[in-house]
Amino acid sequence: EVLAVAEELANGGARTKRLQVSHAFHSPLMEPMLEEFARVVGAVDYQQPRITVVSALTGGVVTDEVTDPAYWVKHVREAVRFGDAANALRAAGVRTFIEIGPDGVLAGMGPQTRTDTGGEVAEEVWLPLLRRGRDEPRALLTALAKAFVRGVPVDWAALYADTGAQRIDLPTYAFQRQRYWLSVTAAGRAEDLGLETPGHPLLGAAMALPASGGVVLTGRLSLSAQPWLADHAVDGQAVVPGAVLVEMVVRAGDEAGCGRVEELLIESPLVLPARGGVRVQVTVDETDESGRRAVAVYAQAEGALPEEEWTRHAAGFLAPVGISVDGDADLAQWPPAGAEAVDLDGFYPGLAEIGLAYGPVFQGTQAVWRRGEELFAEVALPDGVSAAGFGLHPALLDASLHAIVGAGDQRDQAEVPFAWGDVVVHAADAVVARVAVTPLA
């Protein structure tokens, strides 16, 4: 039948048919071999099996059949019902399958035989005891260990017999006064590595560069270490807000004695991966003739090779705080006189429609007022979000800009800030802020 289909296809025909192919051969050429095989298996002494046997010939449990030489002759002539046998084992509660053979062929095929598609089924595992091209003792012990942690009993005493190995008692809990553990020389504090701790939630170490008078601060950003960063999504990607880069630059400026961010330009977005993280460095150069210091923010994927380049995501200048800041707003009267309240119904869903999906931590806009071209807003951190250690929590700083897009005239464009100037933090640990937005010429 297979040859007939092949011939029809070769002649340009079109035919689709499902074929059941097995090793059931009926060629006259096999008859002498079968007769010889029957003679050999007929000379073997058989006993009843002492463990339950599921046959790949019948697809179910067998007992007396395996003592009949004809049963083994059928193994050569008839189809192998491996899938039925595997499902019979599953029906009996088996979830750990161990393949005893020269390779892991059946272990690779086994998971494909599952026919159940719905409901909760206990996780199963297929373990080959030997693998082609792998060290045999290592492959064997690896499979036994995996079976053991799944509850399969293993006679470890037999494994270590005549080796001189002995059981020893471990401490019953970790705080016994008698110490059993080896001393660990690696330290987890920045000071133990010759660095300084900046005391910032996003920056773990700081180092002065004596040759140039510069400063370097380092940190690590990831969705596991800072899960609140996942609440800042642009076009479906977790993008580190510019407010985070500003916050790190402000802290670097404090370390270098320049607490004013005169200018910071975001050059490329810093996108966080779904798994793993990125290394971050904030570099501050030596002071120039005007008293300013160049600053930059670099990032590199975690696990990158040493020779791989870092990406510069932001660059600018720091200056001493003593220089005055233009545009101070008088927010003593709140809301300001003449300002009219803006309806915030659908505020954040509207931002999500244009690609700015803010999660709960970043949905800090509480109220917005408009007075001519000016916008005023009140923003706050949600309950449970700590501002400790930040100059100004990036979520609060980012929320202070949402009114520009959400209540401004360009509501159909996904805009994020890329240039910052004259940034000075006057008070730390704020959880609520009043915002004044004034357009410039």
Q: What is the pLDDT of residue 167?
A: 84
Q: What is the pLDDT of residues 290-306, one digit of tens each?
A: 889 999 999 999 988 88
The Cα–Cα gap between 415 and 403 comes to 11
Residues lower than pLDDT 50 in the chain: 1, 5, 13-25, 119-120
Q: What is the pLDDT of residue 21?
A: 42
Are residues 303 and 348 located together in one domain of the fold? no
Q: Is residue 13 part of a domain?
A: no
Peptide bond into 269 cis (omega under 30): no
- 228 by Cβ neighbours in 10 Å (0-12 / 13-18 / 19+) ranks as middle
Q: What is the pLDDT of residues 235-282, one digit of tens each?
A: 888 999 999 999 999 999 999 999 999 999 999 999 999 989 999 999
The Cα–Cα gap between 35 and 389 comes to 85
Q: What is the pLDDT of residue 83?
A: 93
Are residues 75 and 140 located together in one domain of the fold? yes
Q: What is the pLDDT of residue 412?
A: 61
CATH of the domain at 365: 3.10.129.120
Q: What is the pLDDT of residue 235?
A: 81
Q: Cβ contacts of residue 73 below 8 Å, gap of 6+?
A: 34, 37, 38, 41
Q: What is the pLDDT of residue 57?
A: 93
Are residues 149 and 43 located together in one domain of the fold? yes
Q: Is residue 293 part of a domain?
A: yes
- 136 by Cβ neighbours in 10 Å (0-12 / 13-18 / 19+) ranks as exposed
Q: What is the pLDDT of residue 414?
A: 67
Q: Which of 159, 185, 210 is the last residue of a domain?
A: 159
Are residues 38 and 130 located together in one domain of the fold? yes
pTM for the model: 0.57
Are residues 27 and 94 located together in one domain of the fold? yes
